[in-house]
Amino acid sequence: MTSYPVEQVDDEIRTLMDDMLETMYAAPGIGLAAIQIGVPKRVLVMDVSPEGEEPNPICVANPEILKTSDALAECEEGCLSIPDLTEKVVRPAECRVRYLDRDNNEQTMNCSGLLATCIQHEIDHLNGVLFVDHLSKLKKDLSLKKYKKMQREKMRDMAEK
């Protein structure tokens, strides 16, 4: 259900982070939590740099949200673990996060915009929470129905070919 903290960021964790970045870029996605590749450790990677600009990979272990803004922001979220489904999710617009970087140094990062949305989405994964869990029961039920319908149609399309 919830992922385990790492003791420290050592070569094993750095290799995990590199594997995760490769998987994330290949998907493509803007973030990935270790549990999404079956590793229950509190590790995530992100890159929210716009397409065509310099890549900006961010590697994070043991993230802790220190503070969230009262101001909220709505973002159309998707998740590699729920293919093709997107829904609008409301979250704090800004947050401050403490974490261990790729070199095992403690860092504090102030996040806003897409980065704030993404890091909250990824930290949720470490706690076994998906973006649909932020929807009202009614919206979540509708969303699940929509997802199942899409999956059925995908399977049907595959069978036809």
Judged by the rule CB under 6 A, the positions of this chain that interact with ligand GNR are 29-33, 36, 75, 77-81, 117-118, 121-122, 125
Quote the tokens at residue 78: 């998707």
Distance from the Cα of residue 107 to its chain's centroid:
19
Of the candidates 80, 72, 60, 68, which has an alpha carbon nearest to the alpha carbon of residue 123? 60
Q: How many residues bind Ni ion (CB under 5 A)?
A: 1
Looking at the Cβ atoms of 102 and 114, the one nearer to ligand GNR is 114
d(CA 13, CA 102): 8
The item of ligand GNR, Ni ion, none sharing an interface with residue 30, based on CB under 5 to 8 Å by kind, is ligand GNR
Looking at the Cβ atoms of 77 and 94, the one nearer to ligand GNR is 77
Closest approach of ligand GNR to the CB of residue 31, in Å: 4
Is residue 45 near Ni ion by the rule CB under 5 A? no
The one catalytic residue in 87, 122, 153, 160 is: 122
Closest approach of ligand GNR to the CB of residue 159, in Å: 27
CB 91 within 8 A of CB 73: yes
Closest approach of ligand GNR to the CB of residue 136, in Å: 18
d(CA 115, CA 49): 9
The item of ligand GNR, Ni ion, none sharing an interface with residue 35, based on CB under 5 to 8 Å by kind, is none
Select the residue whose beta carbon is closest to ligand GNR and give its number: 29
Establish whether 87 is a catalytic residue.
Answer: no
Angle at the Cα of 98 (from 25 to 35), degrees rounded to 5? 45
Is residue 79 near Ni ion by the rule CB under 5 A? yes
Side chain identity at residue 50, one-letter code: P
d(CA 121, CA 82): 13
Angle at the Cα of 65 (from 40 to 56), degrees rounded to 5? 75
Annotated catalytic residues are: 122
Contacting positions for Ni ion (CB under 5 A): 79
